[in-house]
């Protein structure tokens, strides 16, 4: 506490979680550091500008490297019987609000999930192209393929080796996914561990599991959002879609603002520390604020 008061830092704690670190002296962390006045990400940062601790013991920041991870967003939308043809315009209005809220340099992919995942628009920053793809979104009598669309979305992220922060947003319903293969679920979670993907899920009619596959989509949706720091929103009526998707768009825009200006830290652990990582805290000098500290670059 004396150290904190002396240099005026704010400490943020990263819970240890289930990840183990091999016996070693150095670890890699990612930090978002803001100007204390403007709340904008700082333009420059040196090792001496940071204070890092593990379980209350001082660690040494050896090197600081700026990263540029722009958000790439995949939007998966259930246009099937769970949504209903009367609600398709509400979904389109919500997606329009989402797109208009995002910064123009955010790359977006649009996919409909009924009767199977299909591209409306492949990855692009062209807003006219996105709106053209959205105009082709039509209601379908089948059930949305929630799990299958997540498998394909995480696979696309796995193949994309460019530096970026992947975000997946699924607008799903409680109808569908009656027969989920355990192999597919395992693939999703393996990829979520491998890369710092963040998943948001909006579940329409998700309060009832009586519909075909409702229990599966709800269970998987809660798990993938909880495990990646995303949001799970359970809504009963489609009227909420326009406002909620605009709100999520603003949240994703903020993730883009922060993730594109992170710093990768090479940290020497305190003497005697090895194996499982303890609780990590970080602060910054000179009126700066550590907004986010993570092992993988996820913005929470």
**How do the domains of the chain map onto residue ranges?**
83-257
Quick one: pLDDT at residue 172?
Answer: 96
Going by CATH, does the domain composed of 83-257 fall within 3.30.70.270?
A: no
Q: What is the pLDDT of residues 34-54, one digit of tens each?
A: 999 999 999 999 999 999 999
Quick one: pLDDT at residue 21?
Answer: 54
Across 16-105, where does the E strand assignment appear? 26-35, 50-54, 57-66, 71-77
Quick one: pLDDT at residue 24?
Answer: 52
Distance CA 82, CA 229 (A): 26
Q: Tokens 């609000």 sit at which residue?
A: 97
Quick one: pLDDT at residue 39?
Answer: 95
Quick one: pLDDT at residue 174?
Answer: 87
Question: Cβ atoms within 10 A of the Cβ of 162, count?
Answer: 8
The residue ranges of the chain whose pLDDT is under 70 are 1-24, 206-213
DSSP code at position 196: -
pTM: 0.85
Tokens of 261: 């200006």
């Amino acid at each position: 506490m004396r150290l904190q008061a002396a240099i005026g830092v704010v400490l943020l704690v990263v819970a240890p979680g289930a990840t183990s670190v091999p016996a070693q002296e150095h670890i890699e962390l990612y930090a978002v550091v803001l100007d204390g006045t403007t709340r904008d990400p700082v333009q420059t940062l040196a090792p001496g500008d940071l204070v890092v601790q593990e379980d209350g013991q001082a660690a040494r920041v050896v090197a600081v490297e700026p990263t540029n991870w722009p958000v790439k967003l995949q939007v998966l939308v259930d246009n099937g019987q769970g949504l209903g043809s009367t609600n398709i315009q509400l979904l389109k209005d919500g997606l329009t609000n989402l797109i208009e809220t995002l910064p123009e340099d955010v790359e977006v992919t649009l996919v409909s999930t009924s009767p199977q995942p299909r591209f409306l628009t492949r990855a692009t920053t062209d807003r006219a192209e996105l709106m053209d793809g959205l105009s082709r979104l039509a209601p379908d009598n089948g059930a949305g393929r929630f799990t299958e669309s997540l498998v394909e979305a995480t696979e696309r992220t796995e193949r994309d080796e460019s530096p970026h922060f992947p975000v997946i947003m699924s607008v799903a319903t409680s109808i569908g996914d009656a027969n989920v293969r355990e192999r597919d679920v395992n693939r999703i979670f393996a990829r979520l561990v491998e890369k710092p993907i963040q998943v948001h899920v909006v579940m329409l009619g998700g309060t009832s599991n009586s519909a075909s596959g409702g229990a599966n989509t709800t269970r998987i949706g809660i798990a993938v959002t909880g495990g990646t720091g995303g949001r799970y929103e359970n809504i009963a009526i489609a009227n909420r879609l326009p406002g909620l998707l605009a709100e999520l768009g603003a949240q994703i825009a903020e993730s883009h603002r922060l993730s594109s200006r992170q710093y990768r830290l090479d940290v020497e652990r305190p003497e005697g520390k090895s194996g499982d990582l303890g609780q990590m805290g970080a602060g910054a000098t000179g009126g700066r604020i550590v907004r986010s500290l993570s092992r993988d670059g996820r913005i929470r």
